[in-house]
Amino acid sequence: MRMVLQLRKELKTDHGTVKRVADQLGVGVESLRGWVKQHEIDAGAKPGTTSAEAARIKELEQEVKELRRANAILKSASAFFAAELDRPQR
């Protein structure tokens, strides 16, 4: 990322810098382009979801999934015990 940003600064253009650096490093152009884009978002230079926000969203989605599963279990248990209470006593 630093190499791309440095090259952009030296050439005063964005055109072709990612491909040139990717070829020098032997990495995929689109991979490097994605890393540079995410770096720019994290630095606040471009709008988008930062890495920290993405991690927090992932945590919250996992928590929602676990809570929904717990709610489903509690609903099933509630229905089971309600049915037990409605049965006539012997």
Average pLDDT over residues 6-24: 92
User: Cα–Cα distance between 33 and 9 in angstroms, integer?
Assistant: 16
Residues 18, 29 contacting (CB under 8 angstroms): yes
Average pLDDT over residues 19-31: 94
Q: Please report the pLDDT score of residue 89 as a whole number.
A: 72
User: Cα–Cα distance between 68 and 70 in angstroms, integer?
Assistant: 5
Pick the range with the lowest mean pLDDT from 8-12, 45-49, 83-87. 83-87
Residue in the block written with tokens 């606040």: 44
55-74: per-residue pLDDT in tens?
Answer: 999 999 999 999 999 999 99
Overall pTM > 0.75: no
Which tokens is 19 given?
């491909």
Instruction: State phi, psi for 30 to the nearest 5 degrees.
Output: -70, -35
User: Cα–Cα distance between 34 and 54 in angstroms, integer?
Assistant: 15
